[in-house]
Structure 1
Amino acid sequence: MGVRKVITDTAQWKIVIFELQGEEYGIEVSRVQSIERMLPLTRVPGAPRPDIAGVMNLRGKITPVIDLRLCLGVEAPPYDRQTRILVVVGNDGVIGLIVDRANDLVDITEREIEEIPTAHEDETYGFFQGVVKKDDRMITLLETDQVLQR
């Protein structure tokens, strides 16, 4: 059984919490540029990744959009009024991530982040930094750059 090493360089983080198929995930707030309602997307024929939902015109800038549910292998229900696009900043620029809903903003400390134990590493294993147990919640922290570089 392998254990993913958690890499953190600050003692305290503010995390944007979002949901995929009823599970909670988090991204550092410093990586989130905005949270948008579902916007019209233009499909990109021959996109290099099957999880690329298309591109959107976000305040005059063309921004690629990834359906995070497809990227992580989570069932993708139809978009509804709660569906959101998290506009995130990665090493390679700005990109939108489609999520079921964006719920909350939570403060966590480095001490609260636990390593992710795994029996086997699959293609999505590197997408996560760790897990946080906060009150009665379990929040999986997303490694944004790994998702964007896939």
Structure 2
Amino acid sequence: MMSSNILNLLLFKLEMSDGSAEYYAVDVDKIYEIRAMEKVTRIPDARIISGIMNLRGKIISVVDIKNILGYNSSVEPKRILIADVNGTMLGLMVDDVEQVAKVASDNIELDASILDNVSYIKGIIKMQDKLVVYLDIDKLFDMKGGVG
């Protein structure tokens, strides 16, 4: 009997203006910490950067993940994920963190026809009553023009 690989994933939620929510997951080892939303200094005319923040004396860029994924929502983010994106520390604004979950790789749908060959989506996870989009955040930011 073959056993599937177990992945440790951080699940987060993005709330839409109509009250619905979308769920996403990233590899937990890409996340340094989870912080409550705090002051972000806005940067005018930045391409994808929403602003910057002071993280224990280090200035890091912060992005609103909803904007990166193409959502237009008036819901204010409540959390910042401090993440390793292509070797750069980056703050990702999300609406809420759901859980850290252990997910068996055989519970992840990898069918390319479903994913429409979107390179930054690693798969779709079937969890209880929802579908969770499993993101490769390095590839997501490569596609959107990089960070930093």
For the aligned pair, the TM-score class normalised by the smaller chain equals 0.7 to 0.9
Deviates further, 108-117 or 63-72: 108-117
Alignment equivalent of 1:20, drawn from 14, 25, 30: 14
Query: Would you say 1:148 and 2:145 are equivalent positions?
Result: no
Deviation larger for 27-36 or 112-121? 112-121
Question: Structure 1-normalised TM-score?
Answer: 0.80
- In structure 1, list runs of 5 or more residues that go unmatched: 1-9
Q: Distance in 2 between matches of 1:119 and 1:59?
A: 39
Give the whole-Å Cα distance in 1 for the aligned partners of 2:34 and 2:119. 24
- What is the distance in 1 between the residues matched to 2:56 and 2:100? 24
Residues 115, 121 of structure 2: 8 Å contact kept:
no
- Which residue number in structure 1 is paired with residue 53 of structure 2? 56
TM-score w.r.t. the length of structure 2 is 0.81
- The alpha-carbon distance between structure 1 residues 119 and 90, as it changes in their structure 2 partners (threshold 3 A), is closer
TM-fit CA distance, 1:23: 1.1
- The equivalent residue for 2:124 is 131
> For the residues of structure 2 that align with 1:79 and 1:137, how far apart are their CA atoms?
22
Distance 2:124 2:115 in 1: 16
Task: Pick the aligned partner of 1:106 from 80, 101, 124.
Answer: 101
Indicate how the Cα distance of structure 1 residues 134 and 118 shifts in structure 2: closer, same or farther if over 3 A, else same.
closer
Match of 2:63 in 1: 66
In structure 2, stretches of 5+ residues that fail to align are 16-20
SS in 2 for 1:75: coil
Higher relative contact order (CA 8 A, sep 6+): 1
